[in-house]
Structure 1
Amino acid sequence: MPREPLSSSAPASASSPVDAGPSFSPLYRQIKSLLIAGLQGGEWKAGEGIPSEIELAQRYGVSQGTVRKAIDELAAENLLVRRQGRGTFVATHAEQQQQYRFLRLMPDEGQEPGLGRQLLDCKRQRAPAWIAKQLQMRAGDPMVEVRRLLHGKDKPVVLDDIWLPGDLFKGLTTERLNKHRGPFYGLFETEFGVHMIRAQEKVKAVAADEESAALLHVAVGTPLLSVERLSFTYGDKPVELRRGLYNTSTHFYRNDLN
């Protein structure tokens, strides 16, 4: 349904998901906020195409250049993906080029992680206070806890513990995870409507304890890289807490700085 044209000299309406701040917002940022609202509301799902720039310009009553600038920012933030000659699509972790977007562990030789997955456990339980705080839940709220190993060349290199809000992931089971062949984030998008769009990480060196050493096939006390990741969906809502122990004897942790 067409919307009322936006004014370049007036802020978006109170219902628009714009950041709090000065009353004036550049027009393209107002369009960007409306597009994010559409993504957040499920109007365009992961992997689906969004309307053309011309259609969006008509819808919002602005120029095509204004829409293009808004889409450019969303593409730079990895929320949208432009495909030459095909249009613009909602980014998805199910795509090959996006599957390792949040995984920074790379082999000493080669370009792609290419890690195999071994699911160890998936269970529902009550969230302890320290997890609930980070996921903006209440202590005792239901959560899903997943434990898995990632293998490189048949050797375990990552031990992941993953915590998810139970209300967003009802029905997530060991059987469901084992049946899914792609990345977990792709499953979260398609079956639970939860799209991980950005993450924060804390990295530090730790020594392997008895449990992690046994699972990663290393000696107790072996240096490991502990990577704690908090992932967010639209609206900066935290939806996943993950703690990974990385064996970097044949891998390194890579980060791109801009």
Structure 2
Amino acid sequence: MSSNSTSPSSSAVANAGAGGVSTPAFSPLYQQIKGLILHSLQHGEWKPGEVIPSEMDLAARFRVSQGTVRKAIDELASDNLLVRRQGKGTFVATHAEQQVQYRFLKLLPDSGDVREEGPAQRTILECKRNRASAEIARALQIRTGDPIIQARRILAFAGVPTILEDIWLPGQAFKGLTAEQMANYHGPTYAMFELDYGVRMVRAEEKIRAVVPDDEQANLLLVPPHTPLLSVERIAYTYNDVPMELRRALYRTDTHHYHNSLS
């Protein structure tokens, strides 16, 4: 079967099983295969950091050409969902990997060298169970009053408090999360979410604006009142565009800047 065929593959769809991805009949075949691979990722067939079957094995599984599978994997790698390793195979991406672990953190030191300041020092101010307000429920696509985990923390660089974060997570998905657990995990928080809760954040949307902190926020960040700060509101999504985190952060920008590459 040609890799640029646009006809749907009934055998590939059959391999999705019950609850499989519903793919429009007019979508290119590689997009259908991408959807089937994504379905397997979403349902935990291959965990973060694990190798997935070879292109040849996937081609046999879905009864398509190896070129079709390769094109599907190329797109998933471009989306940072898979990682190719020369001579080793293709792996499920994980936030524990050095090259992707800070993919969602766009605050960089003015020197431009993140290696100089090292990882952030984290202070967990609170982590508690709560009930979702209408606003939080809307953002996380849950019901008002549903259980949530609410956390607040400070990220410091070279001992200087630089980021103040308020975080809301669905209570069912993150049942049992504690301040001690967040404080004691030394890797990226998103890697902890993968390891301990099986939740992988695959993309995020952000809103950015300039704000003035209130007195409590200014005290926590050790800045004078009326200091302009960068407010960043992020919703992070797992597979299938399911929101799994609302994060509101205040960034000091006296020694750091927000950096994003556009293409």
How would you bin the TM-score normalised by the shorter chain?
Answer: over 0.9
Q: Of the candidates 20, 28, 33, which is equivalent to residue 16 of structure 1?
A: 20
Ranges in structure 1 where 5+ consecutive residues have no aligned partner: 1-6
- Aligned residue number for residue 203 of structure 1: 208
- Aligned residue number for residue 91 of structure 1: 93
How far does the alpha carbon of each residue in 1:47-101 deviate from its partner, in whole angstroms, 9 at most, with x for none? Answer: 1110111111111111111110000000000000111111111111111111110
1:82 partner letter: R
Residue 225 (structure 1) aligned with residue 223 (structure 2): no
What's the secondary structure of 1:185's corresponding residue?
helix
Equivalent residues of 1:10, 1:24 under 8 A apart: yes
Equivalent residues of 2:8, 2:32 under 8 A apart: no
- Aligned residue number for residue 44 of structure 1: 46
Ranges in structure 2 where 5+ consecutive residues have no aligned partner: none
Provide the TM-score with structure 2 as the length reference. Answer: 0.91
How far does the alpha carbon of each residue in 1:138-167 deviate from its partner, in whole angstroms, 9 at most, with x for none? Answer: 111000011111111110000000000001
Equivalent residues of 1:227, 1:245 under 8 A apart: yes
- Aligned residue number for residue 240 of structure 1: 245
Cα deviation for residue 201 of structure 1 reads: 0.3
Equivalent residues of 1:47, 1:92 under 8 A apart: yes
- Aligned residue number for residue 126 of structure 1: 131
Cα deviation for residue 193 of structure 1 reads: 0.7
- Aligned residue number for residue 78 of structure 1: 80
What's the secondary structure of 1:150's corresponding residue?
strand
What's the secondary structure of 1:98's corresponding residue?
coil
Moved over 6 A (4+): none
- Aligned residue number for residue 180 of structure 2: 175
Equivalent residues of 2:7, 2:25 under 8 A apart: no
Q: Please, which moves more after superposition, 9-18 or 230-239?
A: 9-18
Provide the TM-score with structure 1 as the length reference. Answer: 0.93
Cα deviation for residue 223 of structure 1 reads: 0.2
- Aligned residue number for residue 37 of structure 2: 35
Equivalent residues of 2:95, 2:191 under 8 A apart: yes
Alignment identity in percent?
Answer: 59
How far does the alpha carbon of each residue in 1:185-227 deviate from its partner, in whole angstroms, 9 at most, with x for none? Answer: 0010011011000000000000121011000000111000000
What's the secondary structure of 2:177's corresponding residue?
coil
Aligned residues: 250
Cα deviation for residue 110 of structure 1 reads: 3.4
CA distance in 1: counterparts of 2:43 and 2:129, whole angstroms: 27
Equivalent residues of 1:208, 1:219 under 8 A apart: no
Equivalent residues of 1:198, 1:231 under 8 A apart: yes
2:95 partner letter: H
- Aligned residue number for residue 3 of structure 1: none
